[in-house]
Chain A
Amino acid sequence: MFSRTTADQLMDVASSQAIKGRSLWHDAFRRFIRNRAALISLFLLGFVLIFAFFGQYLSSHEPDFVDFSLRRDIKNLGVPSIENGHFFGLEQEGRDLYTRVVQGTRISILVGVIGSLVAVVVGTLYGAFAGYMGGRIDSVMMRIVDILIAIPFMFVIILLLVVFGRSMVMLFVGVGLISWLDMARIARGQTLTIKNKEFVEAAVATGVKPFTVILRHIVPNLAGIVIVYATLLIPQLIITESFISFLGLGIQEPMTSLGALISGGASQLGFGTPWMIGFPLFFFLITLYAFFFVGDGLRDALDPKDR
């Protein structure tokens, strides 16, 4: 019938053996480390993190240093090379791409992770609450989300910049402000159907308070979709960051981010310097893969119906 991998079978065996006496989380952990893909991705994520936080020690170059002797002909003098220590070559301004990718990956991972954490926490609770309460409360809460989706976001960013000045904190505020909206919609949609399930109705019938129902019964059942959507948000937020910085809030030169490096590389497409787009894009890609598989492993492990 359904083809299943050994990992799955093992998991089934594992779960049937551990019928009682174990916590959900312990169980989930066991499932997780038994999932090959998730485990590989954990190593991948580890590699990306080590690269992002310690990669600069491998290089003798500074991320903001322009080598004017190489800058006159980046197309030929700036190619990636082990000899001169520019492992990834030079970017279009004549700076070392390797150390900039290290720096950019670090900043973008922070932006992506913090942004999606905000989305997970705020979006899920908001959406679950609206969906569970229903009626007028749901209507008002969701119209607020509609309004926030439609207001001209650029002016919000510009105002944040003018009023508070530029800083990393403001960047996270800017990213956080938009990241949770779609999450709230999705969480609310799922809640609408989950709240009609027997176990929820049973809980309500036994007099459990609404907040407890939401936290105990609704939110855990949202975990699957929330995790998937959170991993989808990470690349979106990394790109959004480059737009926010474009407006002046957030990361400023000579600091950089993956989004800025990718858009810088994209501006040189077709000019014979493929490494400028290639390396940042590669690290963007493996970061996304790592987060995806970790997310997917978590999702599999946490799926309550799979218990």
Chain B
Amino acid sequence: MKLKNTLKASTAAALVLIGTAVYAESHSATHPVTGEALAAEQMFTYSTIDEIPSIDPGLVEDVEGSAVVRDLFEGLLNQDSDGNPIPGVATGYEVSDDMLTYTFTLRDNAVWSDGSPVTAGDFVYAWQRAANPETASPYSWYIELMSIENAAAVIAGEKPITDLGVTAIDDKTLEVRITQPLPYFPQMVTHGTTFPVPQHVVEEFGNDWITPEHFVGNGAYVLTERVLQERLVREKSETYWDKDNVIMDKVVMLVINDSTQALTRWQAGEIDKTAQGLPPGQYPSLVAEYPTEAIAVPSLCSYYYNMNMRDTAPEWAKDARVRQALSLAIDRDIIVEDVLSAGQFPAYTFTPGATAGFEVPTVEAAGMTQAERNEKAKALLAEAGYGSDNPISLEILYNTSESHKSIAIAVSQMWKQTLGVETTLANMEWQTFLEERGNGNFDVSRAGWCGDYNEASTFLDLMNSSSGYNDAGYNNAEVDALLAEAKTLEDPSANYTKIEEIISVDVPIIPIYHYTENFMLNDAVKGWPFDNVQQNWYSRELYKVAE
């Protein structure tokens, strides 16, 4: 039996529909599907906080860079506005019975922007290049994560790159061999690291191939300008196979380091969309002023404080009652409503409630009022033998940033006002902070974690005593056992609930809130994929309506 590809037929049909409704007068006044009146100038300008490390598919490592790569190149599959895989360069694929071999069929009309056809060989070259130790891509581990045959050995330089489990059967057929069945494998090839690169151009120009002068891509856009730390401009490609359905003509990315400055320029109409992260506390007044344009959507991230659980920690930190008291005394509602106020969710568990298949356990604290929590916190602290005659003083370590500072100030005051705990704040520049936190030189340290995939283990694995990200130094054999067992279970959700319950008693970490993505988006811009949990957007699906 062969599994037929699982792409959503409806979306594909819709695409065909648009294709036939072609759009001959290149800028007809209305959108071919929705019938909205389109703006005369189709240009989308957005800001990012930092310059992108690389827009080379083989080297790309960050969210903003991936968005650019998705515009300039096209992989085997794309995502639709809900995040499901749909055809890209591949029109479809077949999976072998053992789920270990994928065969992708490439479309005939896919071409590079210099006119040469996109072949299966370009994919083979790109994947080998990404895994090649000489390329030294910071994302080479992604090839290994995809479980491609021999990936680890190739990355380690133990086998030649030609041993990588990817082969061009012919120009239009690509075979991929993986070492274990991965139900989400199709989803993985929508990521930039798997996108093709033009071998003939890369070999001719080396590192410079990705500059506007030499650029050749196969995406809906071509790179026309790149000024580091200032702007990156991409314009509609005339060679893209589906160019007739691309409405947005020009996309400009501006690097604006300061979120307040970006907001001012958005208000002045200079940019259509600001980078993720509005100035802390400003969201409510922005919503009042721009109800449809100030956006906040939940994201799979948690903000928390690590308690130092190492032997080297101060005496009070070793008492679970003290840690519980500290956790209880934090009024999360004030943090999310008054300090951050962009729709964040108060956190009493590490795993966000929005996580698929995760049932939020009924940890006791979540069901209490803050007054009850404060009472209990005081009682616990007294029971542990601390109070005005034996006060605790501690330090919160965080990396320099306005919002981390705001939260730390509020928390320190809650501890002081409720528990009489004296808190000093210690900020450090990022790299020093990482080193100090990693070495356990702190009492309490700030941390944030975003899920890599939509499942609770992506969070709870951090509580494993052997996890490299377990900065609290938490070590509980029962948690380790539950985590190990969860890997083998059909439905591990009971284990996850149990772990959260243990954490709420041991308090190696104090969950504070679950993030939202918040930004400003001009009303005239349509087609933003709000329903895509990863917020993977494609410029070719955006369009501007006439105002």
Contact residues of A with B, CB < 8 Å? 64-66, 68, 71-72, 75, 92-95, 154, 158, 161-162, 166, 246-248, 252-254, 267, 269-272
Q: Beta-carbon contacts of B404-440 to A below 8 Å, as 1s and 0s?
A: 0110111011101100000011111100110000000
B334 contacts A252, C-beta separation under 8 Å: no
By CB atoms of chain B within 10 A, which of A154, A161, A272 has the most? Answer: A161
A72 contacts B337, C-beta separation under 8 Å: yes
Take A68-B338, A158-B432 as given contacts and tell me if A92 and B281 are in contact as well, using a CB distance cutoff of 8 Å.
yes
Give the chain A neighbours of B406 by CB distance below 8 A.
92-93
Give the chain A neighbours of B426 by CB distance below 8 A.
166, 248, 252
Asked if B179 is an interface residue, CB under 8 A from chain A, the answer is no
Q: Distance in Å from the Cβ of A20 to the closest Cβ of chain B?
A: 60
Cβ 8 A contact of A252, one of B260, B339, B424: B424
A271 to B280, CA, bound (A): 11
Asked if B264 is an interface residue, CB under 8 A from chain A, the answer is yes
A248 contacts B281, C-beta separation under 8 Å: no
Give the chain A neighbours of B162 by CB distance below 8 A.
none
Known pairs A71-B338, A248-B433 / 19 extra A-B pairs, C-beta < 8 Å: A64-B416, A66-B413, A68-B338, A68-B410, A71-B334, A71-B410, A72-B337, A92-B406, A161-B428, A162-B432, A246-B429, A247-B429, A252-B425, A252-B426, A253-B405, A254-B409, A254-B412, A267-B260, A271-B285
Give the chain A neighbours of B428 by CB distance below 8 A.
161, 247-248
Give the chain B neighbours of A272 by CB distance below 8 A.
285
A1 to B412, CA, bound (A): 65
Tell me the nearest residue of chain B to A64, going by C-beta: B413
Q: Distance in Å from the Cβ of B265 to the closest Cβ of chain A?
A: 11
Tell me the nearest residue of chain B to A73, going by C-beta: B338
By CB atoms of chain B within 10 A, which of A64, A93, A95, A162 has the most? Answer: A93
B410 contacts A93, C-beta separation under 8 Å: yes
A176 to B7, CA, bound (A): 66
Give the chain B neighbours of A158 by CB distance below 8 A.
429, 432
Q: Beta-carbon contacts of B333-352 to A below 8 Å, as 1s and 0s?
A: 01001110000000000000
A267 to B402, CA, bound (A): 9
Chain B residues touching A, range: 20 to 34
Tell me the nearest residue of chain B to A66, going by C-beta: B413
A270 contacts B264, C-beta separation under 8 Å: yes
Give the chain A neighbours of B413 by CB distance below 8 A.
64-66, 68
Asked if B279 is an interface residue, CB under 8 A from chain A, the answer is yes
Give the chain B neighbours of A92 by CB distance below 8 A.
281, 406
Tell me the nearest residue of chain A to B431, going by C-beta: A158
Cβ 8 A contact of B429, one of A94, A248, A252: A248
Asked if B109 is an interface residue, CB under 8 A from chain A, the answer is no
A107 to B406, CA, bound (A): 21
Tell me the nearest residue of chain B to A255, going by C-beta: B424
Q: Distance in Å from the Cβ of A38 to the closest Cβ of chain B?
A: 40
Q: Beta-carbon contacts of B239-273 to A below 8 Å, as 1s and 0s?
A: 00000000000000000000010001000000000
Q: Distance in Å from the Cβ of A251 to the closest Cβ of chain B?
A: 10
| CB under 8 Å from chain A, chain B span 298-350 | 331, 334, 337-339
A273 to B390, CA, bound (A): 40
- Give 5 nearest A-B pairs by CB, closest first: A253-B425, A248-B428, A66-B413, A72-B338, A93-B409
Give the chain B neighbours of A154 by CB distance below 8 A.
429
A64 to B406, CA, bound (A): 12
B427 contacts A252, C-beta separation under 8 Å: yes
Cβ 8 A contact of B409, one of A66, A72, A162, A247: A66
Take A68-B334, A72-B337, A247-B400 as given contacts and tell me if A271 and B282 are in contact as well, using a CB distance cutoff of 8 Å.
yes
Q: Distance in Å from the Cβ of B50 to the closest Cβ of chain A?
A: 17
A248 contacts B285, C-beta separation under 8 Å: no
A253 contacts B427, C-beta separation under 8 Å: yes
Q: Give 8 CB contacts A-B under 8 Å.
A: A71-B334, A71-B410, A92-B406, A95-B409, A252-B424, A252-B426, A254-B412, A272-B285
Tell me the nearest residue of chain B to A269, going by C-beta: B260
A271 to B281, CA, bound (A): 10
A295 to B444, CA, bound (A): 46
B285 contacts A254, C-beta separation under 8 Å: no
Tell me the nearest residue of chain A to B400, going by C-beta: A246
Give the chain B neighbours of A64 by CB distance below 8 A.
413, 416
A248 contacts B260, C-beta separation under 8 Å: no
A248 contacts B400, C-beta separation under 8 Å: yes
Cβ 8 A contact of A248, one of B409, B417, B424, B432: B432
| CB under 8 Å from chain A, chain B span 495-535 | none
Tell me the nearest residue of chain A to B396, going by C-beta: A253
A154 to B429, CA, bound (A): 10
